[in-house]
Amino acid sequence: MQKQIKTAHIIGLGAVGATYGSILHNYDKNCAKIIVDANRFPKYQEGIVINQKRYYFDLLVPGEENQKADLIIIAVKGLDLHRAIDTIAPLVGSDTIILSLLNGITSEDTLSRVFGRDKVLHSFCVALDSVRENDEVNFSNSGRIVFGEYYPEVKGKAALVAELFSKAGISYSIPDNILKEMWWKFMLNVGINQTSAILRAPYGVYNSIPEAQKLLVSVCREVIPLAEKEGVNLSEADIEEYIRIIKGLSPSGKTSMMQDIEAGRKTEVESFALEVINLGKKHNIPTPLNEMLYLMIRVLEQK
């Protein structure tokens, strides 16, 4: 096992990837390396503006001649995971650690089947309020990355990531029960991403309009009995914790799904509502709110 992470390879330079890429670049410009395909290379050579500063990242088009990566951070949309897997494959070596910051609860299983459970830490980011508009990314709160060693085969590798993040200034936490924390984030994404996309509601709306917050809570509640059937204990207190987090985010900040709808991009509704619907069918538990949200968002995608 490697003794230290010297470089972090990031695939996906949207709101999430750009935020953490900029922090790593500010720490050490040689630390952050952005994985791109040949088609995107010319565009990214022009740099990307993050918080009013143009960043010129070290770009890498993977090939068999590349050195193996110490750490790969996957920050693409769920729809692009399989393409990302093909892209990063030449960079994955025996000691490579993979962090997936994708929404949902299934990407780690997919990655471990391809690359092995000894390489994949379960992870997600939370309380990040970055917004990508007109090829610029702005954020006031970089949130934190939550990760842990769910697979026994990856034991000892979380400490290596923690060491890098501590040096670079990336906030993080390593909970005792990473699976519960991932389900917690999934529940919140199901609630706020989908309702914000339909309502066109930035975070401030959930603090200023009681009905918006009530809608968010109602949608989240559909996940609790599903999680229980999957062996994860969620409660009303977990929803209340996120309500407190929202109060600390920029009122004008937007969820990723709201940004996708505004930009005319395909959303990750399959990772949210459809996943809830399928779990409901699996356990014979009704999920009427998510069934409605799924249909509404699919309509918005096609307008």
pLDDT at residue number 2: 72
- HSE-up of residue 281 (Cα within 13 Å, Cβ side): 7
Domains and CATH numbers, the chain: 8-174 (3.40.50.720), 179-302 (1.10.1040.10)
pLDDT in tens, 147-200: 999 999 999 999 999 999 999 999 999 999 999 999 999 999 999 999 999 999
Asked if residue 66 has pLDDT above 90, the reply is no
Residue 64, pLDDT > 90, answer no
> Which value, in Å, is the radius of gyration of the alpha carbons in the chain?
19
Q: What is the largest CA-CA distance in the chain?
A: 56
pLDDT at 235: 98
Q: How does the average pLDDT of the chain come out, rounded?
A: 96
Decide if pLDDT at 143 tops 90: yes
Q: Which helix (H) or strand (E) holds 221?
A: helix 210-221
Given a contact cutoff of 8 angstroms between Cβ atoms, the answer to whether 74 and 100 are in contact is: yes
In eight-state DSSP terms, residue 19 is H
| pLDDT for 1 beyond 80 | no
Task: Measure the CA–CA gap between 221 and 215, rounded to whole angstroms.
Answer: 10
Residue 65: pLDDT over 90: no
- Pull the structure tokens for residue 173: 């936490």
Looking at residue 135, its pLDDT comes to 85
Question: Cβ(14)–Cβ(75) under 8 Å?
Answer: yes
Per-residue pLDDT of 86-124, as tens digits, reads 999 999 999 999 999 999 999 999 999 999 999 999 999
Residue 176's φ and ψ, nearest 5 degrees, are -70, -35
Interhelix angle 288-302/273-283, nearest 10 degrees: 150
Which amino acid is present at 265? R
State mean pLDDT over 56-83: 94
**pTM of structure:** 0.95
- For residue 105, the model assigns a pLDDT of 95
Amino acid identity of residue 151, one-letter, is Y
Residues 103, 266: Cα–Cα separation, whole Å: 14
pLDDT in tens, 210-267: 999 999 999 999 999 999 999 999 999 999 999 999 999 999 999 999 999 999 999 9
Specify the pLDDT at position 34.
Answer: 97
